[in-house]
Amino acid sequence: MLTTTALKPFLIDTICVDTPLTLAPMAGYSNYAFRSLCRDLGGCGMVCTELLSGPALLDKSSRARSIRMFDWRASEFPVAVQLFGAIPQEVAEAAKIVVDYGAAIVDINMGCWVPKVAKKGGGAALLRDVCTATAVVEAVVKAVDVPVTVKVRSGWEDGLVTAIPFARAAEQAGVKAIAVHARFAGQGHTGSADWDVIRRVKEMVTDIPVIGNGDVHTGADAARMMAQTGCDGVMVGRGAMGKPWVFQHIAHYLQTGETLPEPSRAERAQLALAHARRWLETSWMVERQAVLEMRGQISKYQLDEPGSVIIRNQIVRANSLAELETIIEPILQA
Ligand SMILES: Cc1cc2nc3c(=O)[nH]c(=O)nc-3n(C[C@H](O)[C@H](O)[C@H](O)COP(=O)(O)O)c2cc1C
């Protein structure tokens, strides 16, 4: 029998997240254009910037560039700004800066495993030692008066689930929500997420919401994750790439148990164009640079006929908005 899950809002401290669905931070993707498109299409309760370097924000010569790159806006409320760093005082100082620039929530990255971040002890490497990870959140909580959240992996070392003891310590340190990507650092994005870790984190904390993350692509996935883990929110990453409507579809499923039909090819083309144009309108980059940066995202809208990659190959070679329009506009009439 099909059971539906209510589309319940949840609270991060005093901030109400209107739906339990949130957009995952994704480097190279979670810019304003994509975040706002996901919000505008409905169903997405909260967005997060991609990770920003705490040390880069502290350096006055790179600060303006960092802020400009991540471009969060008041209209996105409640936008979480994600920081990474390993030294408690540094991350705390960086948090003050992003709050001054309008961050509604400061999120601390404890999930990134790439050497550039983890080698310096930041990201998922913080989970090697619960005490250091807790010291970082304590310092940030003391430094800012907006809610502080964390996004963790299951743990650093395969099989050693540090997320569970850390969740309790983080809650005691004043963290207001925890997102759990249920994979170990060494897994990257391989294998399947082990949602049982999310359930155990939910059991471990007392009051704060737990946001489950990993392998949610459909409404049925989200409903299953919520039922299996008791999580308060569901975070979607790769499932939203080239599919900013996924939140609306998941929300509809959670409310009704019905699966909405996927957008037609022409509808996908329309959204791809809207995405490209919004990026061009809002990016600080010159047009060519902005197009090079974004064409990978636009190629994910699956604008080809089944079995073909002609359009995709044209998109990833485009150098201007006009070129993208020439490639995509004919599909609007298809
Ligand atoms: C291209 C890409 C970039 C990512 N960048 C970040 C990031 O900046 N910060 C972060 O916490 N996680 C990052 N992640 C991890 C996602 O937020 C998410 O935890 C992961 O993709 C699992 O969720 P999913 O199965 O819904 O994709 C990234 C993932 C991808 C695919």
Q: Is the pLDDT of residue 66 over 90?
A: no
Distances (CA, A) of 222 to 176, 195, 217, 238, 282: 22, 11, 8, 14, 31
| CB-based contact 251:45 (threshold 8 Å) | no
Q: Whose CA is nearest to atom 10 of ligand 1?
A: 25
Token duo for residue 271: 């959204």
Angle at CA 109, nearest 5°, toward 105 and 114? 150
Mean pLDDT of 43-47: 98
Looking at the fold, whether 269 and 231 belong to one and the same domain comes out as no
| Single residue among 199, 230, 256 that ends a domain in this structure | 256
Q: Is the pLDDT of residue 43 over 90?
A: yes
123 lines ligand 1 (CB under 6 A): no
Token duo for residue 299: 């190629």
**CA 95 to CA 91: how far, in whole Å?**
6
Q: Whose CA is nearest to atom 6 of ligand 1?
A: 26
27 CA distance to ligand 1 middle (Å): 7
Q: Provide the 8-state DSSP code for 52.
A: E
285 CA distance to ligand 1 middle (Å): 24
111 lines ligand 1 (CB under 6 A): yes
Q: Is the pLDDT of residue 6 over 90?
A: no
Q: Give the pLDDT score at 333.
A: 87
4: pLDDT confidence band, cut at 50, 70 and 90? low
Taking the CA of residue 239 as reference, the ligand 1 atom at the shortest distance is 26
**CA 207 to CA 194: how far, in whole Å?**
23
> What is the pTM assigned to this prediction?
0.97
Query: If residue 165 lies in a helix (H) or strand (E), which one and from where to where?
Result: helix 163-173
**CA 30 to CA 53: how far, in whole Å?**
15
Higher pLDDT, 27 or 334: 27
Q: Is the pLDDT of residue 31 over 70?
A: yes
Looking at the fold, whether 62 and 156 belong to one and the same domain comes out as yes
- Three-class SS state of 181: strand
Q: Give the pLDDT score at 40.
A: 98
Looking at the fold, whether 192 and 300 belong to one and the same domain comes out as no
Q: How many domains does the chain have?
A: 2
**Residue 112 a catalytic site member:** yes
Looking at the fold, whether 103 and 63 belong to one and the same domain comes out as yes
In a domain, 1, yes or no: no
The percentage of the chain sitting over the pLDDT mark of 70, rounded to a whole number, equals: 99
Looking at the fold, whether 183 and 63 belong to one and the same domain comes out as yes
Q: Whose CA is nearest to atom 3 of ligand 1?
A: 26
26 CA distance to ligand 1 middle (Å): 5
Looking at the fold, whether 104 and 82 belong to one and the same domain comes out as yes
| CB-based contact 250:21 (threshold 8 Å) | yes
Q: Is the pLDDT of residue 1 over 80?
A: no
216 lines ligand 1 (CB under 6 A): yes
Q: Is the pLDDT of residue 2 over 80?
A: no
In a domain, 41, yes or no: yes
Using CB atoms within 10 Å of the CB of residue 193, give its burial: 0 to 12 exposed, 13 to 18 middle, 19+ buried.
buried
| Single residue among 226, 256, 286 that ends a domain in this structure | 256
Looking at the fold, whether 41 and 153 belong to one and the same domain comes out as yes
In a domain, 218, yes or no: yes
Backbone Cα Rg of the chain: 20
Looking at the fold, whether 186 and 272 belong to one and the same domain comes out as no
Cβ contacts of residue 79 below 8 Å, gap of 6+? 35, 46, 47, 48, 49, 72, 73, 103, 104, 105
Looking at the fold, whether 222 and 148 belong to one and the same domain comes out as yes
CATH no. for residue 166?
3.20.20.70
300 CA distance to ligand 1 middle (Å): 16
Q: Is the pLDDT of residue 309 over 80?
A: yes
In a domain, 170, yes or no: yes
pLDDT digits (tens, 9 = 90+) for 98-116: 999 999 999 999 999 999 9
3: pLDDT confidence band, cut at 50, 70 and 90? low
Q: Which domain holds residue 166?
A: 10-256
In a domain, 4, yes or no: no
10-12 vs 15-17, strand pairing mode: antiparallel
Task: Identify which of 71, 65, 64 has the alpha carbon closest to the alpha carbon of residue 50.
Answer: 71
The CB density around residue 288, as the number of other CB atoms within 10 Å, is 12
Looking at the fold, whether 209 and 315 belong to one and the same domain comes out as no
Q: Give the pLDDT score at 334.
A: 76
| Single residue among 238, 256, 274 that ends a domain in this structure | 256
pLDDT digits (tens, 9 = 90+) for 145-202: 999 999 999 999 999 999 999 999 999 999 999 999 999 999 999 999 999 999 999 9
Cβ contacts of residue 131 below 8 Å, gap of 6+? none
In a domain, 2, yes or no: no
213 lines ligand 1 (CB under 6 A): yes
pLDDT digits (tens, 9 = 90+) for 294-305: 999 999 999 999
Looking at the fold, whether 168 and 302 belong to one and the same domain comes out as no
Looking at the fold, whether 210 and 125 belong to one and the same domain comes out as yes
Mean pLDDT of 67-91: 94
